């Protein structure tokens, strides 16, 4: 399921923290089951991303998904 990152960020910015992941539509089909993805990065970068996510009421995972979707969309990589 595709999520418009700009719209998602706008809706979430004014929401209270603590409900972040439940506001992002979850995949429903067997092809879109939730899976674990690991990424290596410096601690300072992880901290920066986590702080940005928290500032918008998001968890780090939701923030990374939105950022990746936005990057793909704006760079025409689909």
pLDDT for the residue 38: 96
Of 68, 51, 61, the residue nearest 26 (C-alpha): 61
pLDDT for the residue 6: 56
pLDDT by residue (tens digit) across 8-48?
A: 565 554 444 444 566 666 666 778 888 999 999 999 999 99
**What's the domain range around 25?**
5-74
What radius of gyration, in Å, describes the C-alpha atoms of the chain?
Answer: 13
Residue 46 near residue 1, CB atoms below 8 Å: no
Q: What's the total number of domains in the chain? A: 1
* Residue 72 confidence (pLDDT) above 90: yes
pLDDT for the residue 16: 44
- Does this model's pTM top 0.85? My answer is no
pLDDT for the residue 4: 58
């Amino acid at each position: 399921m595709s999520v418009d990152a700009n719209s998602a960020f706008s809706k979430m910015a004014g929401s209270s923290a603590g409900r972040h992941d439940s506001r992002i539509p979850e995949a429903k089909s067997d092809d879109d089951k939730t899976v674990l993805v690991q990424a290596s990065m410096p601690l300072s970068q992880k901290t920066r991303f986590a702080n940005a996510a928290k500032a918008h009421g998001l968890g780090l995972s939701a923030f990374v998904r939105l950022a990746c979707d936005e990057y793909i969309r704006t760079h025409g990589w689909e």
